[in-house]
Homo-oligomer: A and B are copies of this chain.
Amino acid sequence: MKKNAVVGQSGGPTAVINASLYGVAHEALNHKDSIGTIYGMINGIEGFLNNQIMDLAPLEESGELELIRTTPGSYLGSCRYKLPEDLTDPLYPQLFQRFEEYNIGYFFYIGGNDSMDTVSKLSRYAKKTGSSIRILGIPKTIDNDLVETDHTPGFGSAAKFVASSVREIAVDASVYDNKKSVTIVEIMGRHAGWLTAASALARKFDGDNPVLIYLPETSFNQDAFIEKVRSALEQTPNLVVCISEGIHDESGTFICEYSNAVGVDTFGHKMLTGSGKYLENLVKERLGVKVRSIELNVCQRCSSAMLSKTDHKEAMDAGAYGVKAALEGSTGNMVAFKRLDSDNYKIDYVLKDVNIICNQEKTVPIDWITDDGADVTEEFIAYAKPLIQGEVTVPMEDGVPKFAYRK
């Protein structure tokens, strides 16, 4: 008897997490000889526990699956649900009982670190109990912080969005070039600075904005920062500085916490302003120039306007590769990317042990950051540039992007 498949999405959405869903669903639907029904979990493993599932085959017939391919966000809904550490927890037999009810033989989970933790636990439980369900992870995160893979789907499009937006912000900032100004752009990434580093791709020429880039991989010294800004303003009167939301001082205190220590809102709550806002005030106070701060915010992970064709294709292919690997017997693995040739960008899809991947974080190598901690090196540029290449045409309706959504 043919087994069914189930696919879920988990953690924060990206611009291409649905491309991976498309990849899984489309490939699985191409294997009707081996796979029965292809289910989607609504709101990940949490929804699945509550029997929230849907049959994905009708989406292909209706054309909705094609639209899902270019829709940002998690079409199936997401969850942040951590499975118990203890594999003897009664939740596990309950879950696998549910798998049996739906005759699941293949389980695909698209997500980042935490989602790979789910894949790890389920596959270990399956092994322990002799279950034949094949359990695979499909990577996804704009943070690019998964180990054992050259990069992750979602990063390329977010990096392209960051680079484009910072280039536009720099153009905007330069219109009053007869007056000095500082624009501080705060970019997502609490512990890993990959996305902030991608702002270097915004430069139109050597020495162009963003002149200063600060990642959370090194510690941030406020006095040194002010001196850097002061000196950079001599060359670049309309200075753009990019900082990661997670920059911190030597003791590990986040820069944004400096501000929170004092501000209190009308309700007596601490004012949760970001690092950018704090540094805006710091620069204003110390240098007396015009300053503004900008948070790129969730648009970094949900904008469909700057899909990288490379990233988009890899996201689809990663999903499809996962299905093929499962059919060939793989379980307990995550689909990963291996870069074959640095000069002529090319990757291979490989499988990596998910137990090594989950709960680890890959940060930007220290030697890809300049000694003064205020820029990235050519090695980073060479690494990141291929990932943002190419554009994807998103279908439009009435002047805005057309997206798929569950009715």
Residues on A close to B: CB < 8 A?
9, 12-13, 43, 46-47, 71-74, 77-80, 160, 163-165, 167-169, 171-172, 174-178, 201-202, 204, 258-259, 261-267, 269, 271, 273, 277-278, 281-282, 284-285, 292, 294-295, 297-299, 301-306, 308, 385, 388-391, 396, 398-401, 403, 405
Tell me the minimal C-beta distance from A367 to chain B in angstroms.
Answer: 23
Tell me the minimal C-beta distance from A84 to chain B in angstroms.
Answer: 20
Q: Which of chain B's residues have a CB closer than 8 A to the CB of A305?
A: 164, 303, 305-306
Tell me the minimal C-beta distance from A310 to chain B in angstroms.
Answer: 8
Q: Which of chain B's residues have a CB closer than 8 A to the CB of A165?
A: 299, 303
Q: Which of chain B's residues have a CB closer than 8 A to the CB of A201?
A: 398-400
5 cross-chain CB contacts under 8 A: A13-B172, A77-B176, A77-B177, A172-B298, A388-B399
Q: Which of chain B's residues have a CB closer than 8 A to the CB of A295?
A: 294-295, 297
**Contact (Cβ within 8 A) B178 A43:** yes
Tell me the minimal C-beta distance from A396 to chain B in angstroms.
Answer: 7
**Contact (Cβ within 8 A) B171 A405:** yes
Tell me the minimal C-beta distance from A278 to chain B in angstroms.
Answer: 7
A299 to B258, CA, bound (A): 27
Q: Which residue of B lies closest to A76 (CB)?
A: B175
**Contact (Cβ within 8 A) B261 A262:** no
Tell me the minimal C-beta distance from A16 to chain B in angstroms.
Answer: 13
Tell me the minimal C-beta distance from A177 to chain B in angstroms.
Answer: 5
A388 to B399, CA, bound (A): 5
**Contact (Cβ within 8 A) B265 A278:** yes
**Contact (Cβ within 8 A) A399 B160:** yes
Q: Which of chain B's residues have a CB closer than 8 A to the CB of A282?
A: 267
**Contact (Cβ within 8 A) B168 A401:** yes
Tell me the minimal C-beta distance from A166 to chain B in angstroms.
Answer: 9
Q: Which of chain B's residues have a CB closer than 8 A to the CB of A171?
A: 13, 71-73, 302, 403, 405
**Contact (Cβ within 8 A) B294 A298:** yes
Q: Which of chain B's residues have a CB closer than 8 A to the CB of A403?
A: 167, 171, 204
**Contact (Cβ within 8 A) A43 B176:** yes
**Contact (Cβ within 8 A) A400 B164:** yes
Q: Which of chain B's residues have a CB closer than 8 A to the CB of A278?
A: 265-266
**Contact (Cβ within 8 A) B297 A294:** yes
Q: Which of chain B's residues have a CB closer than 8 A to the CB of A264?
A: 262-264
Say whether, besides A171-B403, A295-B297, A281 and B265 are in contact (CB < 8 Å).
yes
Tell me the minimal C-beta distance from A399 to chain B in angstroms.
Answer: 4
**Contact (Cβ within 8 A) A13 B175:** yes
- Given contacts A172-B298, A262-B265, A265-B278, 11 further A-B pairs with CB under 8 A are A72-B168, A73-B172, A77-B176, A160-B400, A169-B299, A171-B403, A172-B302, A262-B266, A269-B284, A273-B277, A308-B399
Q: Which of chain B's residues have a CB closer than 8 A to the CB of A174?
A: 73, 77, 405
Q: Which of chain B's residues have a CB closer than 8 A to the CB of A164?
A: 304-305, 400-401
Q: Which of chain B's residues have a CB closer than 8 A to the CB of A46?
A: 178
A175 to B11, CA, bound (A): 9
Tell me the minimal C-beta distance from A279 to chain B in angstroms.
Answer: 11
A165 to B264, CA, bound (A): 30
Q: Which residue of B lies closest to A15 (CB)?
A: B168
Tell me the minimal C-beta distance from A133 to chain B in angstroms.
Answer: 25
Q: Enumerate the 8 nearest inter-chain pairs by beta-carbon distance, A residue then B residue, closest first.
A: A388-B399, A305-B305, A73-B171, A172-B302, A78-B175, A74-B175, A263-B263, A168-B302
Q: Which of chain B's residues have a CB closer than 8 A to the CB of A13?
A: 171-172, 175
